[in-house]
Structure 1
Amino acid sequence: MSQELRLIRRITLKLIPFLILLYLIAYVDRSAVGFAKLHMGADVGIGDAAYGMGAGLFFIGYFLLEIPSNLMLERFGARRWFARIMLTWGAITMGMAFVQGPTSFYVMRFLLGAAEAGFFPGVLYYITQWFPVRHRGKILGLFILSQPIAMMITGPISGGLLGMEGVAGLHGWQWLFLCIGAPAIVLTLPVLRWLPDGPKDVKWMDPVEKQWLAGELKKDLEEYGQTRHGNPLHALKDKRVLLLALFYLPVTLSIYGLGLWLPTLIKQFGGSDLTTGFISAVPYIFGIVGLLIVPRSSDRLNDRYGHLAVLYVIGAIGLFLSAYLTVPVLQLAALSLVAFSLFSCTAVFWTLPGRFFAGASAAAGIALINSVGNLGGYIGPFVIGWLKELTGNLASGLYFLSGVMICGLILTGVVYRVLERKHALPESKFAASARGSR
């Protein structure tokens, strides 16, 4: 193994498992509401449309504060800022146990989004400070494993906690919010103690390794034409940022639209809450498989857009079949295909912004891309809830998401033509230079 690969492996082992754990907890906190909805709606009077709106309001809070949060990360450092985010989101998640109706549900979901704003894009920016471009597909694939793993464990854990109905006078869904919010608060101190702000702060890299890494990141800056705006807020006006934000929208709209309604869909198969939880975990196993295979293939072939196009096609077909088919086993198979596609899309997509931006510009640009893209987290759940009330079934919402994935396929061609052909080196030259650096 070369010295480069040994160093990359060491950095990966030191940072990525801990970051996976932190984002896993964040993802459980934001997605468990889908299981709480199975009983919370009847207890406090929240209908399908109100649930869809409240579930989506998380992303409005996220959208409004994500850019300021990422700029604060650049100013205060990852260690302190991630700890602040975790403390506030854990406390607000626990506060979800005490909602009394639609209004308080809306307020708490909005505040949860505001509290968590900046964590995911902050980690993406953090990764750009540790890994050269040619290694980021695999690293992002590993980090985003936290999403399907979170959804896998959320189902069984939520099903079990919902069974605590009446314990200490609380509903099962109240126990759910209390128990899933606590780990974020508990992990605040380990984040402050163990997470380094950057390569210069660690003792497990010698000066030669630090110099090599700084040199490789500088080469990326020159080779890929990365931009460092004098004022990082100028990145928000860069048309590349705006186009990438639009390109990300179909992925988030589909992931959250499906994820927040998946428990309701699986519940229609029949069975207890615990059974629903375990069955809901099945598609995410295939999401994990996709993240272990597709980003590595994307790195090896140095092909981002071709992989994204294929994934959008697979996702569109899977969503269409999950709506069209009526046999539960076949629906579950189609949903597994969708999960394989969507999570792989996320990892491959996030290799793109770091090719165009660096430094504080990357922090602001990544935040804007993620915040605009995450508006899909509002649109998806809301539209599906509205369509369900209008038509009486979830199939209409799944057809809608299938159409969204087709839009993503079209945008793949548009983004490639605008960004790669006009603003970057050809793909083949990227591949050749990456191979030469090895």
Structure 2
Amino acid sequence: MIQEQRLVRLITLKLIPFLVLLYLVAYVDRSAVGFAKLHMGADVGIGDAAYGFGAGLFFIGYFLFEVPSNLLLDRFGARRWFARILVTWGAITVGMAFVSGPNGFYVMRFLLGAAEAGFFPGVLYYITQWYPVRHRGKILGFFILSQPLAMLVTGPLSGALLGLDGYFGLHGWQWLFICIGTPAVLLAWPTLRLLPDGPDKVRWLSEAERAWLKEQLQNDLCEFGQTRHGNPLHALKDRRVLLLALYYLPVTLSIYGLGLWLPTLIHQFGGSDLVTGFVSAVPYLFGILGLLVVPRSSDRLNDRYGHLGVLYALGAAGLFLSAWLSAPVLQLAALCLVAFALFSCTAVFWTLPGRFFSGASAAAGIALINSIGNLGGYLGPFGIGALKAYTGNLASGLYFLSMVMLLGLMLTGVVYTRLERRQREGAALAGTSR
């Protein structure tokens, strides 16, 4: 008799801490540009609008290369493909230290997005090969802990590295890119050695455990009526994929729009770079709290859409208050609420695609949802930069993000009606016909 909780705990201990480490390094890589901007703008000649445009180009590269990357992961296996991603994104991040003008900044941000494309959705797909649907909310919550943990690390680390200005003739922002890009390259070899491609490739699972896991994943296929297209590219035309991508867009737009401008917002409170780094880390403590509590609640109650609706509402309220309030302490409290809502929302949302797709269709569908959703990573930074340049303050950008989260709240009912309820009715009809 297989002890389910013990087996899930074993798989989690073997896989999730290492995946958290890898994504933590990735998220530090993509987020540190917000701190580099505090000084590199004057050295390289990048204004607010140009910074917003260049920061967002990362997500254009991500968008264009994400689906091919996830399909290649399915072909070559997780460990080899993840190792390739690590080497290329680490090398490009180090290269960011040597940009000499706005055009170089634009090119390197685009290439960084292309290099990293497929890692996050690749891990999401990888998790669907190891865990039944009923366990994925909690597991995704653990994995997405990488994001707020990375921001906790990024703030103080970036503040300290910016203080190296002048060492060996390099600016502090150059040291920042060099020091955060190098770990990605160094982690490629451990990835090849330690990360298994799938349950069939490991010695620490017994034959009975492998058989049980395969049976549970097959049961999910039947229970949720998951689609497995003969040609995985057909998933890209599936209306469910496009609707889920639209539903995810407000979250990514808000996370990246806020994250890449948060150091600038906190810097306005006053204080040194190091103080800005530490204060910028505070909201992410609440992001961690949300990820430890909300996905577990979603799994326990088997409720995704109710939780998502509440989280979209909290995010909209927090963003509005962070712009409307003028006292720094109250603004920071509102930003803490935003971080709690946004990161929790990410974990709960990513339990949805695995309910509708499996196999290579899941790889393609997850990649497309994330790539379209990550256009928010372009629109968020660019939109806030453009609004700041036009109005002269960041409050207009925060009001914009609040309206976007309200759109997500309205979409919750639409997604539930058109996807979940319809799928349950279809599964029930299929069950009565058998």
| Common fold by TM > 0.5 | yes
What CA distance in whole angstroms lies between the structure 1 residues aligned with 2:2 and 2:317?
Answer: 42
What CA distance in whole angstroms lies between the structure 1 residues aligned with 2:252 and 2:240?
Answer: 19
- The aligned counterpart of 1:272 is 272
Q: Which amino acid aligns with 2:83?
A: A
Distance 1:278-1:425 versus aligned 2 partners, 3 A rule: farther
Note the C-alpha offset of 1:425: 5.1
- The aligned counterpart of 1:130 is 130
Secondary structure of 1:261's counterpart equals helix
- The aligned counterpart of 1:249 is 249
What CA distance in whole angstroms lies between the structure 1 residues aligned with 2:25 and 2:423?
Answer: 38
Secondary structure of 1:283's counterpart equals helix
Q: Which amino acid aligns with 2:276?
A: T
Note the C-alpha offset of 1:421: 1.6
| Backbone CA RMSD of aligned residues | 1.2
- 8 Å CA contact 2:224–2:423 kept in 1: the answer is no
What CA distance in whole angstroms lies between the structure 2 residues aligned with 1:116 and 1:165?
Answer: 28
2:22 matches 1:22: yes
Deviations 1:182-222 (A, max 9, x none): 00000000000010000000000000000000000000001
Secondary structure of 2:351's counterpart equals coil
Identify unmatched segments of 5+ residues in structure 2.
Answer: 429-434
Secondary structure of 2:204's counterpart equals coil
What CA distance in whole angstroms lies between the structure 1 residues aligned with 2:220 and 2:425?
Answer: 12
Q: Which amino acid aligns with 1:335?
A: L
What CA distance in whole angstroms lies between the structure 2 residues aligned with 1:299 and 1:426?
Answer: 23
Percent identity (aligned): 79
**Runs of 4 or more consecutive aligned structure 1 residues displaced over 4 Å after TM superposition:** none
What CA distance in whole angstroms lies between the structure 2 residues aligned with 1:2 and 1:363?
Answer: 28
Number of equivalenced pairs: 428
Q: Which amino acid aligns with 1:68?
A: P
- The aligned counterpart of 1:434 is none
1:22-171 paired onto structure 2 within 5 Å: 22-171=22-171
What CA distance in whole angstroms lies between the structure 1 residues aligned with 2:319 and 2:410?
Answer: 17
- 8 Å CA contact 2:2–2:209 kept in 1: the answer is no
- 8 Å CA contact 1:224–1:425 kept in 2: the answer is no
Q: What TM-score do you get using the length of structure 2 for normalisation?
A: 0.98
Q: Which amino acid aligns with 1:264?
A: T
Q: Which amino acid aligns with 1:410?
A: M
Q: Which amino acid aligns with 1:201?
A: K
- The aligned counterpart of 1:294 is 294
- The aligned counterpart of 1:359 is 359
- The aligned counterpart of 1:194 is 194
- The aligned counterpart of 2:432 is none
Identify unmatched segments of 5+ residues in structure 1.
Answer: 430-438
Note the C-alpha offset of 1:352: 0.1
Q: Which amino acid aligns with 2:80?
A: R
What CA distance in whole angstroms lies between the structure 2 residues aligned with 1:111 and 1:154?
Answer: 21
Q: What TM-score do you get using the length of structure 1 for normalisation?
A: 0.97
Secondary structure of 1:36's counterpart equals helix
Secondary structure of 1:228's counterpart equals coil
What CA distance in whole angstroms lies between the structure 2 residues aligned with 1:426 and 1:264?
Answer: 50
Distance 1:205-1:425 versus aligned 2 partners, 3 A rule: farther
2:209 matches 1:209: yes
- 8 Å CA contact 1:420–1:426 kept in 2: the answer is no
- The aligned counterpart of 1:236 is 236
Note the C-alpha offset of 1:420: 1.2
- 8 Å CA contact 1:90–1:182 kept in 2: the answer is yes
1:376-387 paired onto structure 2 within 5 Å: 376-387=376-387
- The aligned counterpart of 1:8 is 8
Note the C-alpha offset of 1:426: 9.7
Deviations 1:356-386 (A, max 9, x none): 0000000000000000000000000000000
What CA distance in whole angstroms lies between the structure 2 residues aligned with 1:95 and 1:359?
Answer: 36
